[in-house]
Structure 1
């Protein structure tokens, strides 16, 4: 009463102990050894250690001992008299007082030690309990999901955490009202009535189950939230307490939907890639089949006089050519980029690039150009064109660490409707300008040539480059309605050729110039060595050429053609497939035969794209390349030009 409040705790304990001392002293003074004051003196240290601490208890015990000794001296000396006649002789004996004092000392010490131990354990238990409580409170309060406890008897939530307030928009006081706020719409997205569905889940929870389900909540602002809810029953079991853990999954569902969309797009992309790879793998054989069909139909047309039958044959030829178009269409892949195409002169781009790039290249690399006069204008982005040329020049520089020769050339190219480029991608027929960059460097191993245009593919050390240079060139050319080709031989060199679509004005001017019709008969005494590994194609070509008056000697491979030529080198022309079994491909065959007959004209044919390169692969700039299937008129035109060209430069540019 004198010292209210917690801050006066020590003062209140001091007054209590002082009062006990007064009572004990008074009792011992009048009653002596028979007084119950001894118990009060023992109680005072116990109260002190329980309420204050060990040091206060020992101080209290010391005071108790001093009281006992002082009163014992006074009674034994006769200064004090007791009112208990039966115990006077005991009270006046000093030894009895000393025994009681020692008993008080040992009993008090034992009680202080025991009480201190109990108090320490009690405090430790309380601290652990409070810590556990704080941890559990923090675990619930700062949980990433909303946690609410619902009392089914009261029909409201009795507690919730901060996350529940954030998700639902209601304060804890609002959630713990007797009437629960409307946090669920009348119906769930699957059509179930919310009240019926939640009653089912609550019954399952009371039965000991742990239902987990998706639920749509309506927050205070009226927004619908997709959530995942898990329920569990909490003790004590005499109450119907349900814990609800709520996780908002709106973002997750949106991510799943987006991922499904991406997966769908990826599946489509993989299908397109599979079609491209499949078509690329069979393009050579398929074009050989078309070549056989086309050749036989053309031969049959010459033997038929009936106009109705000829019309049927013409339809067959047209269908065969459409089959070739179908292959190209399957290989067409769209690419999108922000380009600003305009009519540009590739020769000017090369000259400007050479002027400054020559000063940056090592002195061990010589740069030569062969630029065609009267080059057509092309429709392309000037900056991207310069970047593509620069990429190819830098690649050539890296391929020639010890120096070498870099050649840049341009040419006007006419690509017919039978052309498919080296990666089996369609290139629309028309007039193109070719930009070629060739080096005499290390060359590219054949096994990695198919991968060089893949993003991030690089043979250089990590950090040497990004691996994006050639893929950017390839993407730019396809976006510009053109293409890029590569031909390489390890140890000899590499050629990259860019084919740019001619601008409309240049194309119209070129179209205005008449083209000569090729002569297709009376070529007696012209001897042709024909190398073709496909027996059906070989048979058609033999019949076609012999019917036109040529003397044809056929070989099923490059190796066999070389043996024939070595036995009899008097041939006017070599027509060879590029890809053949054996040691000698078409390019190798041409190189070895020309070592015996340097002026031998050569026409190359392939079911793949044109292996157009200037040096390092057995081809010459004047050589003619044809893409299978070859129409007879194109074949005869190529032969006429090859046999009549003499030493003049010729490149039909046919794919």
Structure 2
């Protein structure tokens, strides 16, 4: 209901005006005041949607009332219709300069009055909407700036951490290759390696979240991501929430971005937990394989019959009403005013599911809980074998120049490649690396260089090396860099751009692949 404040000197005029407005505008609430001071106080207390103001009022004149209202942060946006007295051109100009929106003659015409008030109400509504949008944009700008700062910080941390992980993974693999399998030492080293891989994936997740970028989809064992996410959630959720899980062993794989699947599950579980904040309850996660027939897929656009992975997340919270279910995937929607979070959790879930060619269903009962079912297309692939470090890796006898400003990583490169038959020269200074290559450009078959180094970056070094010898195969490695992408690296003549940490198997395969690849002019390296 719109609120109108009428400030007039004469009680008779106020009474007649209030009666008229209630008759022609029954949806409006009318408040009256007989002096400028009283009118200002009521405007500050009640925040009307528009004000009818008589110029000739006691205590202070109408123009002074406008000035005071427009100078107050809480009342400056209220539209004011000036009326009464002699409204000549000077009064018009003065009123407009002070902030009045329109004028009425002393003898009020009912139609003009209603039209003026409706125009003011529309103006007020439009201004309120503009202010809301402005506030949203300002909040978005603040979040964007915060995300940019987080992204920069995360990138710096990722670079250093990935260098550390490269050393941990590399030397662990080398040590495993020198110990007998099924011994306590070998078993312990396997656990170190697994922990290193988990840390590597965690860094990738942090980078993906902070940069809001997608990773490539690949065959993914969803059960592994689900179990990892539930471990994290158990530590984060209150003990009043019991987590039950039924993860079928050997559940199928999907073509997916592991970070997005992780985010999807975390968002669903966090949303479920919030519905049980007050009394606690049970959060249940079920993962299984399922065959969907045409009776189901016909009800869901873009879905085809066949094998799927079904992920179910259910809670025993307060439930979601039927009317609300239609809105829960809308951006910014929250079920409670002031609820924690951005209101984007389920919107993100919906987007991830659709991005992976799947669908989701929601079922809820009041005070009995909610169940989300996610269906993702399952892929059928030949059984894969676990990687055995004892198996032979690709080998060679070429000469490699390995450049990294960290001694431990330069030494690691030599320890990785030398046992595979390569002759390795290491340098921890990019300038020295350039000089040794310039002196003997045909003495090296491959250069492996770090990206971030003092004096000269890996990208700059690669450019200078290629000026000396255009057919030189170069592998550029980076712990993190927003300046270089795969496409940009290859456009400069670099054969491979690799993100750290790099394990022994990956290093062996990449080096062999680059050396076996034909040069741009068609000659085999």
Give the TM-score of the pair, scaled to structure 2: 0.43
Give the TM-score of the pair, scaled to structure 1: 0.35
CA radius of gyration, larger in? 1
